[in-house]
């Protein structure tokens, strides 16, 4: 039997977040008992993320959910548009709960989790890879790179979904726990499509996020200040913050991601194109990618060939991203029409990449009609205030 030295592994996973832990856990469930190491620069696991998705496949992780909603809504200046589904609830998982569950299975399998270890370099050869950290050199047959968003991904993306979030509590009942607010749409500021996101866990506790589909970077301080103002405006002075903070950025692009797979280094998670370009939903795609990777790599005789493990972006995502970049003022109308005219089950399947072409068409049609109606209304409004031919045209500066 071939005996490896203590710095040699079959698989090394760079990153102990959602993607890295999901893959390691999946190898454990598949009965892989080779040496596997998970390496991450963070010093400890922190509760700093909330992952949400529609549970249309009875996802096992949904049992960890901190919140579950069979109704969700969009709010704009005209009112609220509510969708419902008995089959596909919208669920939210706290990262602390996911980390604890995944780590238990990973450690039971005997895999190594090493925190506080920053990767300096990854080199690849015909016979394997060498990962160099501040502590050691690690040999691996295959490296899975789950280190998340990179500067190259930000630079290559025409639109970035930028958000900050907090969990807040109230001294009185101010939240409606039966309905999740996926979008509280705000006026166009010229920076992109802007909305707030509210997940009410109880009548007195909620996650509130300030989100932009932004064409240029938006400072965290500004996002925080806007979130403060929104919470005060909507819920008043009875609100107290918890110690939870969430800050994130998700690239919105249908272009090929900068981190291409090589023979022995496989980008996964955000680096592997898991975030759906038009929405940023990632959790369900990580599960799909993980299943494909385990099927390909768990067997000892698996060839090191190209495999299909990432989902192609739906055609509608390219349209949404183009609108977010060039005409974000059309998006409120597009989303309002979608929420007002489409049933919840169809939207859930569409958002979770389960809808075929025929099932997707009503979603696309509703969104396109809403955008067209918004554009027509703007044109009519402009025409109604157009200056007469005898009056000089006004001068507008930006």
Name the residue with tokens 């990962």: 131
| C-beta separation of 127 from 263 below 8 A | no
Cα 199 to chain centroid distance, Å, stands at: 15
- Tens digits of residue pLDDT in 282-307: 999 999 999 999 999 999 887 776 66
User: Average pLDDT, whole number, for the chain?
Assistant: 88
Joined tokens for residue 34: 């080779």
Q: What is the pLDDT of residues 18-62, one digit of tens each?
A: 999 999 999 999 999 999 999 999 999 999 899 999 999 877 899
- Asked if 226 contacts 210 with a C-beta cutoff of 8 angstroms, the reply is yes
- Residue 152 has what pLDDT? 82
Report the C-alpha gap between 351 and 355 in whole angstroms.
8
Reported as a pLDDT band with limits 50, 70 and 90, residue 329 is very high
Secondary structure E strands in 20-105: 36-39, 50-54, 67-69, 71-76, 79-84, 90-94
DSSP string for 124-159: E-SS-EEEEESS-EEEEEEEEE-----HHHHHH-SE
In whole angstroms, what is the distance from residue 112 CA to residue 37 CA?
5
Q: What is the value of pTM for the model shown?
A: 0.90
pLDDT > 70: what percent of the chain? Answer: 91
Question: Which letter does DSSP use for residue 302 in this model?
Answer: -
Task: Report residue 374's pLDDT band, with 50, 70 and 90 as the boundaries.
Answer: confident
Q: Helix (H, G, I), strand (E, B), or coil: what is residue 284?
A: helix
Burial class of residue 9, CB neighbours in 10 A (0-12, 13-18, 19+): buried
Over the stretch 137-195, which tens digit does the pLDDT of each residue have?
A: 999 999 999 998 888 888 888 999 999 999 999 989 999 999 999 999 999 888 999 99
Instruction: Taking the CA atoms of 23, 24, 26 and 32 in sequence, report the sign of the dihedral they define.
Output: positive
| Spatial contact of 91 and 98, defined as CB atoms under 8 Å apart | no
pLDDT at 77: 93
Give, as one character, the DSSP assignment of residue 238.
Answer: G
pLDDT at 300: 86
pLDDT at 391: 39
Quick check: helix, strand or coil at residue 263?
coil
């Amino acid at each position: 039997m071939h005996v490896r030295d203590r710095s040699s592994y079959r698989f090394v996973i760079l990153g102990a977040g959602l993607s890295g832990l999901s893959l390691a856990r999946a190898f454990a469930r598949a009965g892989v008992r080779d040496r596997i190491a998970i390496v991450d620069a963070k010093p400890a696991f922190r509760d700093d993320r909330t992952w949400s998705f529609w549970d249309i496949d009875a996802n096992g992780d949904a049992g960890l959910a901190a919140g579950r909603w069979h109704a969700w809504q969009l709010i704009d200046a005209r009112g609220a548009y509510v969708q419902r589904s008995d089959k596909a609830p919208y669920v939210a998982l706290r990262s602390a709960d996911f980390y604890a569950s995944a780590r238990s299975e990973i450690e039971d399998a005997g895999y190594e989790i090493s925190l506080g270890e920053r990767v300096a370099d990854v080199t690849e050869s015909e016979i394997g890879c060498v990962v160099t950290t501040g502590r050691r050199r690690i040999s691996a047959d295959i490296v899975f790179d789950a280190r998340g968003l990179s500067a190259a991904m930000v630079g290559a993306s025409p639109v970035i979904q930028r958000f900050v979030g907090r969990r807040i509590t109230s001294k009185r009942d101010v939240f409606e726990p039966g309905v999740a607010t996926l979008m509280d749409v705000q006026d166009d500021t010229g920076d992109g499509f802007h909305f707030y996101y509210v997940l009410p866990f109880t009548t007195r506790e909620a996650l509130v996020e300030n989100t932009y589909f932004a064409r240029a970077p938006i400072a965290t301080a500004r996002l925080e200040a806007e979130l403060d103002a929104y919470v005060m405006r909507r819920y008043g002075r009875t609100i107290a913050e918890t110690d939870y903070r969430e800050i994130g950025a998700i690239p919105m692009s249908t272009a090929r991601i900068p981190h291409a797979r090589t023979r022995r280094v496989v980008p996964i998670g955000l680096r592997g194109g898991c975030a759906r370009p038009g929405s940023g939903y990632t959790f369900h795609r990580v599960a799909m990618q993980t299943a494909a990777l385990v099927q390909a790599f768990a067997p000892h005789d698996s060839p090191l060939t190209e495999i299909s493990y990432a989902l192609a972006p739906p055609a509608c995502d390219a349209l949404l991203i183009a609108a977010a970049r060039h005409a974000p003022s059309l998006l409120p109308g597009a989303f309002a029409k979608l929420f007002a005219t489409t049933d919840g089950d169809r939207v859930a399947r569409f958002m979770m990449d389960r809808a075929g072409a025929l099932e997707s068409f009503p979603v696309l049609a509703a969104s396109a009609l809403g955008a067209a109606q918004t554009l027509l209304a703007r044109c009519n409004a402009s025409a109604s205030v157009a200056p007469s031919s005898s009056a000089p045209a006004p001068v507008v500066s930006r």
